[in-house]
Amino acid sequence: MHNTKWLLLLIQVKMPGEQLTCVWQAIYSLDRLNSVNINKDSLKLFLTNASVYESIQFSERKFSDTFSEATVKFNDFKEYVKKHLRENGVAYSKTCSDLEELSWNNLKSGMKSNLETGDVYKLWRISNRLIKEDTYPPVIFREEASWLLEKVLSNLEHNLKSSDDAFRQDKFTFQEMLSIMEDFAFSDTSQQQITACIDDLYMWLVVEVMKKGKVHKRTKKQANWTNWVKRWCVLTPQYLRYYGTDAKISTRVPQKAESNQKGEFTFTKNTKLESLKGYSGVMKHFQGRFRLANVPVLEMEIAIDDENEKRAWLSDLEEIIQCLRDNTTPVQKLLKERHLKSMAAREKKDNLNKQVEDIESALNKTKLRAERQSKKQVFDDTSTKVVKPLTTEKPKDKIQPKRPSLEKESEEKIKAMFMKIDANGNGLLDKNEFANFLKGLGLNMSEKESNLIFKSVDTNKSEQITFEQFKNYFCLYIMNETETAECVNAMRKAFLEADRDGSGTLNFREFTEFVWEKNRSARMTKILKSFANITTDEISFNDFEKLVSGSGAEVLVPILEEEIEQGTDSSLDDFEGRLQKVYKDTEADELATYIRQRWDKFATFRRAGQTGSVVMAGGHGMVADIVPGEYSLIDLACFSDLPPLEPKHAVVKDIQWLSSTIPGKSGKIIFPLEYDKQVPIEQATSELLRYYGCSFADSQQEKISLLFRHGIQDFTYENGYLEKYVTATNGGAGVEKHDFSHLDCPLSEDSGFFILAKFMDNGEFHITAFRLPVRHTLYVPGGVIHCNDYLKGTWRTMLSDETDIDHVHLTHVVEEGQEEKFRFQFT
């Protein structure tokens, strides 16, 4: 709860993207004596000079009333700028920009750089979005500086360099960061490349240009649309500005853009965005088109020759409108998310460092007299690794194998092996079954050795091995070619030697004494810290493996390497090899034999009636064999061997869907002469609904993304809804599609028919009328063709008002050249 509260506070008041940090920089350049907090008198002098700008109104009385202390906090200053320093009617961003200009005029003479002044200025403005607020002197943390340098290197295509080598300190002033970037990125780069690189970053992070290019546009004036004209458009989070195309077009904004500007569309959180089909007129043809509207002020359509380019514009526009509703911009959102991650990582690092210090302090006091139980309180909340492994890459590669993916044949062979070991056929291996299996391999293992292998497979310590555990172990140690048997055997031999009381686990004394005897060069604090990372009082073999590949690597790997060099004569050496041989000798089809034998009484099942004839019989074979373990219910529903189900549906060819070009009006869908208006009825099931891309929401666990604000409400369809409203008032029955999603749940037994339809790849139109069980919720994704004209009773429905609905009336060809509206009939 504490961390959540801290994050919410951070989002509200301490974020990057705040250009007012420039004021702190300007004042620090003039008043370096006070290096802890900003001096109120220095700030007062600066703001007095700033009053020459029309966007700023400075009142000495208001300043004194606001700041009573000798120093000023940055967040208090931000509120002061918004409430008191900004001239009435002036945008807050304009006041900030003027303060930024004055700050630069104070700073630029003291800047030391080999870059051109204009490039330094733009880098400085970029850095203002990255500087940590409320620091004095203002600084950029290493994470933010490295991120910016990576963007520079990527832009310059310096692929062989890494920003990790550049920033060694924890934080930097802008001048320090500038010097490092010059040496690291700009020293062997032409001035033209440097300027182009900085310009690109400046347009992205400061001007926030998201997109630019040539498009066709038209505007609605007094209910009429103007002609299509070609324009050069520049998209930012505040506006879409469009220019004439007579200037030379490049990847940048046209020269003399202001004098060539033809107009702009300003975004608000109420701006409507609608994707449209391509435009086809007498003179103009476009594949992609969309509409922007600030009703009733301005409405425009933009057409693009390429459908993919249209999607890119729509994606950026949707992000802009969403950010406006969240009172931010895409760049500010990006920087905030980065800053949150950096702060979380920094906090975690600080906590780990503190934990390490606490551990070392406690260990120095307790030495060898510390027992595990007393140490447990000292090392609470240290489950995260606090000591980085210092082992070389070679043993680390050995001890951290990756489990290979299994083909079906391999899994069946492993399961066949498992069933050979499972003598009683209950799907679980106990210690006796496992020990008998080891003897069957010809291994003369001691009980201690056998128990060790059993426990290394039984990862949840239940005293029984499931098939999933056996399969995981087999994949990790037998099939994984990167894992050598000698390394595993060395770990087992070391563990057995350390386990002096034969309990199968190592206590604190056993672990420390073993390591101290085997590795005299290891410091005791290192040994103790290795054990401290284990969250239980006793170390199992699995814990021991984790220590070898983690915090205990420095003290344990040398011991294992010596064991490997000396070799072992234990029967542990042969276990992996023998198991591998059994696997190779096992055929995949053996599994079917074992399953048939295990379930023979079901496979041969027969029930006879009074006359002796068979009235119930088992199938020809088991569909599946399910061993004990945890499963998703969907995994237990074994229907993959059966052909997919399709709902009964009407098939109609030569359908024409004609959307309306007038918002709020319905179009029409024209059915051919031979269509008989009949739609078959189905009882809805998950598999039948899936044919139309829908499902029952209460039987699915998958997550979905909602692109728009939705509401849920109950609607009651009274008797006569179809005749009195749909037919008589709304122009007739129809079908529809839209970008938002539906949830529809009948609350009444007699709920009518929910129509679903779709176009097939071959041009056919398929339609089904579904009956939904009461209190079963239907999920209809955006874009699915459906109809609720035939519903009855009360339905709980989720819907949205943020996109237009493409509704079309059902129209039937009655004879050549004549059409009439109709309603579906159900069979």
Instruction: Give the three-class secondary structure for 98.
Output: helix
Choice between 331 and 533, residue whose per-residue pLDDT is larger:
331
Q: Which residue, 22, 1, 161, is CA-closest to 81?
A: 22
Spatial contact of 772 and 689, defined as CB atoms under 8 Å apart: no
Tokens of residue 585, six digits: 């000798």
Lowest mean pLDDT among 121-135, 442-456, 798-812: 442-456
Average pLDDT along the chain: 77
Instruction: Give the three-class secondary structure for 691.
Output: coil
Choice between 571 and 714, residue whose per-residue pLDDT is larger:
714
What span, in angstroms and rounded, lies between the C-alpha atoms of 228 and 129?
Answer: 39
Residue 337 has pLDDT above 90, yes or no: no
Spatial contact of 292 and 312, defined as CB atoms under 8 Å apart: no
Q: Which residue, 509, 506, 552, is CA-closest to 527?
A: 552
| Phi-psi group of 292: left, alpha or beta (phi > 0 → left; psi -120 to 50 → alpha; rest → beta) | beta
The confidence score (pLDDT) of residue 405 equals: 47
Q: What is the mean pLDDT of residues 325-346?
A: 79
Tell me the per-residue pLDDT of 717-769, one tens digit each, with 9 for 90 and over. Answer: 998 899 989 988 888 999 999 988 889 999 999 999 999 999 998 889 999 99
DSSP codes, 250-263: -SSPPTTHHHHEEE
Q: What is the mean pLDDT of residues 333-347?
A: 75
Query: Rounded to the nearest 5°, which phi and psi values hold at 209?
Result: -75, 120
What span, in angstroms and rounded, lies between the C-alpha atoms of 202 and 209?
Answer: 9
Choice between 572 and 491, residue whose per-residue pLDDT is larger:
491
pTM here is 0.44
Name residue 708's amino acid: F
Q: Mark out the alpha helices in 163-268 (DSSP H runs).
A: 174-181, 191-205, 257-260
Instruction: Give the three-class secondary structure for 241.
Output: strand
Exposed (0-12), middle (13-18) or buried (19+): which is 87, by Cβ within 10 Å? middle
| Helix pair 92-107, 117-128: axis angle to 10 deg | 130
Has domain 393-585 been given CATH number 1.10.238? yes
pLDDT band at 367 (very low <50, low <70, confident <90, very high): very low
The confidence score (pLDDT) of residue 536 equals: 61
Residue 376 has pLDDT above 60, yes or no: no
Tell me the per-residue pLDDT of 564-609, one tens digit each, with 9 for 90 and over. Answer: 666 555 555 566 666 666 666 666 566 666 666 667 667 667 777 7
What span, in angstroms and rounded, lies between the C-alpha atoms of 101 and 103?
Answer: 5
Q: What is the dihedral of CA 424, 426, 431, 434, to 10 degrees?
A: 70
Q: Give the C-alpha distances (Å, rounded to integers) separating 198 from 16, 151, 186, 731.
A: 19, 10, 11, 59
Q: Which residue, 11, 42, 48, 47, is CA-closest to 29?
A: 42
Lowest mean pLDDT among 48-52, 66-70, 528-532, 602-606: 528-532
The domain ranges of the chain are 13-205, 211-328, 393-585, 650-826
Lowest mean pLDDT among 46-60, 133-147, 217-231, 605-619: 605-619
Instruction: Give the three-class secondary structure for 357.
Output: helix
Lowest mean pLDDT among 108-112, 135-139, 180-184, 495-499: 495-499
Q: What is the dihedral of CA 517, 535, 485, 554, to 10 degrees?
A: -50
In degrees, rounded to 5, the angle at the alpha carbon of residue 807 between the alpha carbons of residues 805 and 810 is: 170
Long-range CB contact pairs, 560-563, < 8 A, 24+:
560/395, 560/487, 560/490, 560/491, 560/494, 561/395, 562/518, 563/490, 563/493, 563/494
Q: Which residue, 470, 475, 472, 476, is CA-closest to 420?
A: 470
Lowest mean pLDDT among 424-438, 484-498, 691-705: 484-498
The confidence score (pLDDT) of residue 377 equals: 40
Alpha carbon 339 to its chain centroid, in Å, reads: 17
Q: What is the dihedral of CA 440, 444, 446, 450, to 10 degrees?
A: -40
Out of 1.10.1740, 1.20.120, 3.90.1690, 2.60.120, which CATH number does the structure's domain 650-826 have?
2.60.120
Q: Which residue, 535, 527, 543, is CA-closest to 379?
A: 535
Residue with token string 């406006």? 324
Spatial contact of 166 and 146, defined as CB atoms under 8 Å apart: yes
The confidence score (pLDDT) of residue 585 equals: 65
Instruction: Give the three-class secondary structure for 651.
Output: strand
What is the DSSP-derived secondary structure letter of residue 206?
T
What is the DSSP-derived secondary structure letter of residue 380?
T
Spatial contact of 416 and 588, defined as CB atoms under 8 Å apart: yes
| Phi-psi group of 127: left, alpha or beta (phi > 0 → left; psi -120 to 50 → alpha; rest → beta) | alpha
Residues in the chain: 827
Residue 147 has pLDDT above 80, yes or no: yes
Second-level CATH architecture of 211-328: Roll (2.30)
Q: What is the mean pLDDT of residues 391-397?
A: 38
What span, in angstroms and rounded, lies between the C-alpha atoms of 779 and 797?
Answer: 10
Spatial contact of 107 and 165, defined as CB atoms under 8 Å apart: no
Tell me the per-residue pLDDT of 756-787, one tens digit each, with 9 for 90 and over. Answer: 999 998 889 999 999 999 999 999 998 999 99
DSSP codes, 532-567: HT-SSSSB-HHHHHHHHHTTTHHHHHHHHHHHHHH-
Instruction: Give the three-class secondary structure for 57.
Output: coil
What span, in angstroms and rounded, lies between the C-alpha atoms of 335 and 262?
Answer: 32
The confidence score (pLDDT) of residue 648 equals: 94
What is the CB neighbour count within 10 angstroms for residue 790?
Answer: 20
Name residue 486's amino acid: E
Tokens of residue 549, six digits: 């590949």
Lowest mean pLDDT among 215-224, 711-720, 804-813: 215-224
Q: What is the dihedral of CA 143, 146, 147, 149, to 10 degrees?
A: 160
The confidence score (pLDDT) of residue 276 equals: 87
Tokens of residue 69, six digits: 């202390």
What span, in angstroms and rounded, lies between the C-alpha atoms of 119 and 390?
Answer: 44
Lowest mean pLDDT among 322-336, 607-621, 803-817: 607-621
Spatial contact of 182 and 114, defined as CB atoms under 8 Å apart: yes
| Helix pair 21-30, 40-50: axis angle to 10 deg | 110
Residue 173 has pLDDT above 70, yes or no: yes
| HSE of 201, CA atoms in CB hemisphere, 13 A | 26
pLDDT band at 295 (very low <50, low <70, confident <90, very high): confident
Query: Rounded to the nearest 5°, which phi and psi values hold at 746?
Result: -75, 130
Residue 381 has pLDDT above 50, yes or no: no
Tokens of residue 329, six digits: 């911009």
Choice between 66 and 383, residue whose per-residue pLDDT is larger:
66
The confidence score (pLDDT) of residue 787 equals: 95
Q: Which residue, 47, 123, 39, 113, is CA-closest to 86?
A: 47
Choice between 10 and 135, residue whose per-residue pLDDT is larger:
135
